[in-house]
Amino acid sequence: MCLCFLACHKSDNDEMNIIPKPKESLKLSSYFNLDNFNIYADKNSIEISKLLVLELNKLDYTSDSIILFEDPIKDFSINLLIDSSISKHPEYYHLVVNKNFILIKGSDREGLIHGIYSLIQLIPRSIGFNDSKLACVAIKDFPEFKWRGLLLDCCRHFMSIDFVKRYIDLLAYHKMNVLHWHLTEDQGWRVEIEKYPKLTDIGAWRKEKDGSVYGGFYTKEQIKEVVNYAYQRGVNIVPEIELPGHSVAALAAYPEYSCTGGPFEVEKDWGVFKDIYCAGNDSTFVFLENVLDEIIELFPSKYIHIGGDEAPKYRWENCSKCKKRIQDENIQDMHELQSYFIQRIENYISSKGKKLIGWDEILEGGLANDATVQSWRGFEGALEAVKTGHDAIVSPTSHAYFDYDLDAIDLEKVYNFDPIPIDAPSDKVKHIIGGECNMWSERAPQNTVDSKVFPRLLAMSEVLWDYPTIRDYNLFYERVQAHYKRLDVLGVNYGLEKKPIDMSSEYEDGQFYLTLNKGVKDLKLFYQINQEETVLYDSTFIISESANIKTWAVKNNVSYGDSLQIELYKHKGLGAKISDLNTYGKTYDGGGDNAIVNGLRGGLNYRDGHWQGYFGTDFEATITFDSIQRIDSVISSFYQYNLSWIFMPKQILVYTSVDGDNYYKRAILSPQISVKQEGQFFEEFVLTFSEVEAKHVKIKALNYGVCPDWHPAAGSKSWLFVDEVRIY
């Protein structure tokens, strides 16, 4: 088996176009004919070879038998074996396609499985060509990170067993090896627990606003079936049982484990809710330990995810049992009480031979001894964890939340994701065990998941597998275009790579210079001004007055994505100097400091790039003209979506000044819309003047502060979102 052509070299040759890209690959001359072959497997590979047969059957290739591998390689054969001596790297595989035979060697069973899927990607029928000639190649490959995961939220929207299996197939096909199965939430409990039947009798079903009942759950037998299915494909299933927060569905079934005793209903809205497990009640821990016993029996994974995120402390702060717990355990504050809760659960999980994973909030108040941190609110949680010698999984909202629209996270941004925090000490990097893309399903029922996950999962799989130090997105983009043929064969209803169109504006000498930017190549862009004639965009165009602009993209004579509509406003504040601006959120910068006077107003999607967000702080800015101006009115826009903790300001204060030292309060405005009003909308605040001159206009909007008592996330900081401040 010492074949001279096995010495592969590093190559940028993408003819093979396997995603994720192999580390070492070489295209050889000639072809292997798949019309007639046998499968040989060594004694360690017999079971895995059945997976190869299944995958080949999907491509309409059959082999009469699997033969135990004893003799040297046979002609017209596919040969599988596991040999731990071929590499020190876990999950390593070596694939050779020669004109006479195919050889797949793995350093372990997972490596052999990866080799099988690389072979499947190479077969012409996997890209829709009915050709049995398989090009000869040699590949050596292994992953950089051991945790390459996808979170699938089956709580907000229930997903069928067949659908979950399908995603296991898609993960394995792209060498992702963890399905993080989110099974409990405020909106539904999805796993059968024999000791507590009401968890599924009551907790698995919610009454929708239209009166219909929605839900579902997985029986123990179904879960065992899925776990085994995943194991056969090299995918590890990690269950998540949320605690102490995101637990309303469980409390609807067993209200005695709450601070108030209920009653509760399974939540029908999205968000964060103040009713959580009671930390002062010992019976709560008995309940959770009994649940975990049955979960541990179902899932062989060495990890159990317990959530630990977004747990408002409002109920604990007003609970006599929780206050007594704080006193008895000499706990300093509510963050330490959560740490007590998590550490108590971690001790129990450890006693069962399992390891705990939690979202980065489990760092607050002190981290459990052997816990792994999943960092979602940025990279800081991972950095803090590894500095103390704890493992971390990196899945920040900035790069890994695939429920977010493309205006927040597109394919290129995912491809540029680096799971290792910039400031991670070199001797601690080993504790970054990998990353994960998160498919939350508040606004993504089963039939929309494909378009959210793909093609972005292709970028995540390559980052976590190959971890390329030099990344050329344009080359990756071209490989993705070719890979779509495979996704077509697999029946994946993939979405777009990027937002089709972005608009930028410059204001000079009383005119707007508007530029449309294509999201991807090969698009034709069109626009209309004030619903008039349709124009094919070819270069920057000029508008002299306020206007409504609609733009859209076409690729291959088919509409590509949604249209973009922008309100453009001409006013005296355009191009003015901005100062005294409070710090806005990094994720919601609106385009930078001048976003509030660029003439472009955002729409009903607060992530559209035009809204500027302030978390727990007020908005304040001073707008300064080049010279003294007569001011007739100031109009400002603010956004509300209370389920995402975004509220109208309590008040808006407007001041003017001629000299920049002496300011005159011109008005105090209050919102007309109730903070309790549901939905997503914005309100304009209009202040009119009479013969006022000013060189400086100061506007201040008071953040609501914290979510009010009636809100599900009572006590949590609230957001304030502002857009264009128009001055006439």
pLDDT at 690: 86
Per-residue pLDDT at 591 exceeds 90: no
Q: Where are the domains of the chain?
A: 4-141, 147-489, 499-568, 573-728
Note every long-range contact of 480-486, with CB atoms under 8 Å and residues 24 or more positions apart, other chains counting: 480/19, 480/411, 480/455, 482/17, 482/127, 483/17, 483/19, 483/455, 483/458, 484/455, 485/127, 485/128, 486/121, 486/126, 486/127
pLDDT at 386: 97
The alpha carbon of 158 is separated from its chain's Cα centroid by a whole number of angstroms, namely 18
Q: What is the mean pLDDT of the segment spanning 36-55?
A: 92
Quick: pLDDT tens for 525-565.
999 999 999 999 999 999 999 999 999 999 888 899 888 88
Burial class (CB in 10 A: 0-12, 13-18, 19+), 521: exposed
Quick: pLDDT tens for 673-720.
999 998 999 999 999 988 899 999 999 999 999 998 888 777 889 999
Interatomic CA distance for residues 86 and 93, integer angstroms: 9
Q: Compute how many other C-beta atoms are within 10 angstroms of the C-beta atom of residue 288.
A: 22
Burial class (CB in 10 A: 0-12, 13-18, 19+), 323: middle
Bridge partners, 394 (sequence order): 375, 435
Q: What is the mean pLDDT of the segment spanning 240-253?
A: 98
Domain 4-141 carries which CATH code?
Answer: 3.30.379.10
- Alpha helix segments (H runs only) across 299-442: 314-317, 320-328, 334-351, 380-387, 411-415
Quick: pLDDT tens for 67-86.
777 665 767 799 999 999 99
Quick: pLDDT tens for 146-202.
999 999 999 999 999 999 999 999 999 999 999 999 999 999 999 999 999 999 999
As given in the structure block, the two tokens for residue 336 are: 């330490």
pLDDT at 10: 37
pLDDT at 575: 85
Closest CA to 457 of 415, 488, 395, 519: 415
The residues, ordered by sequence, that sit 6+ positions from 486 with a Cβ below 8 Å of its Cβ are 121, 126, 127
Cis peptide before 197 (omega within 30 of 0): no
Q: What is the mean pLDDT of the segment spanning 224-232?
A: 98
Q: What is the mean pLDDT of the segment spanning 26-55?
A: 92
Interatomic CA distance for residues 662 and 652, integer angstroms: 19
The angle formed by the CA atoms of residues 40, 44 and 49, to the nearest 5 degrees, is: 45
**Residue 521 banded pLDDT, cuts 50, 70, 90:** confident
Q: What is the mean pLDDT of the segment spanning 359-371?
A: 89
pLDDT at 715: 80
Counting residues of the chain whose pLDDT is more than 90, the rounded percentage is: 83
As given in the structure block, the two tokens for residue 722 are: 């502002």
Q: Phi and psi dihedrals of 724, rounded to 5?
A: -45, 130
The residues, ordered by sequence, that sit 6+ positions from 727 with a Cβ below 8 Å of its Cβ are 571, 572, 573, 576, 623, 629, 631, 633, 634, 635, 697
Q: Looking at 90-94, 417-421, 602-606, which range is the least confident one?
A: 602-606
**What's the topology of domain 147-489?**
TIM Barrel (3.20.20)
- Are the beta carbons of 299 and 224 closer than 8 angstroms? no
Quick: pLDDT tens for 412-445.
999 999 999 999 999 999 999 999 999 999 999 9
CATH class for domain 499-568? Answer: mainly beta
Domain 573-728 carries which CATH code?
Answer: 2.60.120.260
pLDDT at 716: 82
**Around 360, how many Cα atoms within 13 Å sit in the side-chain half-sphere?**
19
Q: Which helix (H) or strand (E) holds 251?
A: helix 248-253
Interatomic CA distance for residues 677 and 643, integer angstroms: 10
Quick: pLDDT tens for 293-332.
999 999 999 999 999 999 989 999 999 999 999 999 999 9
- Alpha helix segments (H runs only) across 491-631: none
Question: How large is the greatest C-alpha to C-alpha distance in the chain, in angstroms?
Answer: 99
Q: Compute how many other C-beta atoms are within 10 angstroms of the C-beta atom of residue 653.
A: 17
Q: What is the mean pLDDT of the segment spanning 248-265?
A: 98
Interatomic CA distance for residues 337 and 322, integer angstroms: 8
Is this structure's pTM higher than 0.85?
yes
Per-residue pLDDT at 13 exceeds 60: no
Quick: pLDDT tens for 561-580.
888 888 899 999 998 999 99
**Residue 65 banded pLDDT, cuts 50, 70, 90:** low
Per-residue pLDDT at 722 exceeds 50: yes
